[in-house]
Amino acid sequence: MYDPGDKYKNVNIPDDLKLATEALGLAYRILDLHRKCFEKYIAAEQKMYTLGSIINPTLYNDMLDSARFKRNIKCIRATLVFLDELKEVAEEVESRSNV
């Protein structure tokens, strides 16, 4: 299938844009190493909402009120979305650098 972007593959890209794109690829590769850990953290959060009030009500209430916990969950969810979105970009950068 034809991709209109293919016409611009040989366009001279400024060095700072190349570096920025490669930085995204690098960030993807580093963060992807920890994807399973991030997914476990989200699974633990979901389990906490399901069983937390029964198993340990004090911990459950503390987590619900914790700004740090909410921030960590928000960051981890954003990281997982970031990883999903960057997968194609990282593959493109890697294929370009192997040429």
Spatial separation of the C-alpha atoms in residues 57 and 48, rounded to whole Å = 10
The pLDDT tens digits for 3-34 are 787 777 777 888 898 898 888 888 888 999 99
Question: What mean pLDDT do residues 81-95 have?
Answer: 79
Spatial separation of the C-alpha atoms in residues 95 and 21, rounded to whole Å = 13
| pLDDT of amino acid 1 | 64
- The tokens 């190349």 sit on which residue? 18
Domain boundaries, the chain: 19-97
Q: Are 90 and 24 in contact (CB under 8 A)?
A: yes
Residues 6+ apart with CB under 8 A from 19: none
| pLDDT of amino acid 90 | 67
